[in-house]
Amino acid sequence: MRKLERRQILRNVSSNWIMLGINVLVGIFLSPFILHRLGDTAFGIWVLIFSITGYYGIFDLGIRASVVRYVSRALATNDRAELASVVNTSLFSYSCVGLFTLLLTLILSASVDHLFRISPGYHATARWLMLMVGTSVALGFPLGLTGSLLEGLQRFDIQNGTAIVAILVRAGLTVLVLYQGRGLLTVALITVVVPLITSMVRAVMVLRICPIPFAWRYVRRATFGSMLNYGGITFLIIIAGRLKFKTDEIIIGSMMSAAAITYFNIGARIVDYAGEFVVGLAQIFLPMSSRSDATGNIEELRRIFIVGNRFCAIVMFPICCVLIILGKSVIEVWVGRKYVAYSYPVLVIMILCTTVMWSQGASSRILMGMGRHGTLAIATLIEGITNVVLSVLLVRPYGIVGDALGTAIPMVCSMLFFLPGHLCRRLGLRIQTYLRQSYALPFALCIPLVMTMLLMQRWFVPHTFLQLTVHLAVAGLVYGAGIAWAYFRNWLTTYSAPLIASSFELSGAAAAD
């Protein structure tokens, strides 16, 4: 294997994890600073508006996933005409989507204060915030094409490098303006402008790496049809994802108050940070499984299924244990003791259900890589609709805890009773074999971790950052020792070497092209 190939995959993987780590660290330190500077109500409006505009993602129509796939294919076959067609057709499509999104934003910004329970003093702020964020998202559709192109070019290092700079610049400017006494709209302006500038910088880099001609003749109906056919099923999954993860704040904002959104968001945000690390790991399994399916290598698909989910569980299981045992301390140290009583139950419910989901992070990527994700899309859509119905029914009697239960119940049912059995049938694998080989080791590694944390809790309960750091450091050393033991006993290397070799081969081929 050539050194160039190894360096390429090393850059991609390391930059991905560095970006995720910086993003989480910045969020951990910046979120409580913004919360305490703006107050519960203003922060709740912030979360609400970004949740509403999060639904704009359904207008993607699955184009992003199609761009990644067809750009990679065009580069592999050195078909420059196809590459130009994909890029120009996508740019035209995204421009149309952006115009529609802008019109929708104008309508929503005029009525957002009537649709949700927002204090009269914040009506004008909510309208302006909706206009700013919605306009940014509208512009982000055509400008965001550069991110898809970088993925198709296998240049995650550039994508992550520019993202790191953007995160640090946004954080620095946000702290500066808040110290100067600026308010919500100034912070929002920074939040929406920096990503747009980042996309422009990426566009310049993409054109230097891979010059692409732009002309009306490259916009082709056939290309759009091919992309839409592939992305149509992905579009259903996108809708389901919005129903699952972007409705909670909207339901709470319409049926309770903006301040209640803040209490819910604190618990949910911690869980989101935890999930990002698994997302960064799981995304590599889509192109790997696509390649294995194309070559008819069912044995390699089984290996990706078992080992991929094993590594996802190795990442997610200890995070779940830590947040359940130390969750109250994490919230207290992060944002303050007054949020613990309401946010901790949300944290526990959400981390349990998302652990069930993200410990199977490779499964959905494998189905998408095989092009067999139709049933998954339907099941996920049913889950999303059920989520909304249950959340609406439970939020009045049980408040934000009821909303969290409305999310957790259908997610756990889908992840336990549908996904494992469905994929095992697809791959011709016994479910008992899958469960044993994927999850026995991660579960066993967590036993000494949990025992250590419980003993530490009997010694002292952390209430400060330093005390919490001591607990987390001891827990990390115990879990790290378990990982080292498993590695030297070959528990982690069994089946893993062919998988890792496949990953190197795939990324190396992309780098060579």
DSSP-derived 3-state class of residue 399: helix
Please tell me the distance from the alpha carbon of residue 330 to that of residue 468, in angstroms, as a whole number: 7
144-167: pLDDT as tens digits: 777 777 766 666 667 777 888 888
Please give the Cα distance from 74 to 86 (Å, whole number).
9
The whole-number pLDDT of residue 386 equals 92
Taking the C-alpha atoms of residue 226 and residue 241, their distance in angstroms, rounded to an integer, is: 23
DSSP 15-63: HHHHHHHHHHHHHHHHHHHHHHHH-HHHHHHHHHHHHHHHGGGGGGTTH
CA distance 258 to 33: 18
Can you tell me the distance from the alpha carbon of 22 to that of 164, in angstroms, rounded to the nearest whole number?
Answer: 7
Q: How far is CA 120 from the centre of its chain?
A: 34
**What angle, 0 to 180 degrees and rounded to 10, lies between the N-to-C axes of helices 184-209 and 145-152?**
40
Report the alpha-carbon distance of residue 60 to residue 140 in Å, rounded.
11
Whether 447 and 455 have beta carbons less than 8 Å apart is answered as no
pLDDT of residue 57: 75
119 pLDDT higher than 50: yes
Q: Where are the domains of the chain?
A: 1-238, 247-513
Structure tokens at 305: 């299924």
Stretch among 61-65, 159-163, 423-427 having the lowest mean pLDDT: 61-65
Distance CA 215, CA 153 (A): 21
Which residues, at least 6 apart from 144, have a Cβ–Cβ distance to it below 8 Å?
A: 64, 94, 199
pTM: 0.71
Q: Is residue 278's pLDDT more than 70?
A: yes
Cα–Cα distances (Å) from 73 to 24, 77, 173, 208, in that order, read 33, 6, 40, 20
- Tokens 């590695």, located at residue: 487
The 10s digit of each residue's pLDDT in 220-247 is 888 777 777 766 677 777 777 777 777 8
First CA to last CA distance, the chain:
15
Q: What is the pLDDT of residue 201?
A: 85
| Token output for 313 | 């569980």
Q: Is the pLDDT confidence value at 508 over 50?
A: no
Using alpha carbons, select from 158, 157, 152 the residue that is nearest to residue 199: 158
Fill in the DSSP letter of residue 183: -
Report pLDDT digits (tens) over 461-487.
899 989 999 999 999 999 999 988 887
- The string of pLDDT tens digits covering residues 124-146 is 888 888 888 888 888 888 887 77
Chain segment 5-27, per-residue pLDDT in tens: 445 555 655 666 677 778 777 87
3-state DSSP assignment of residue 452: helix
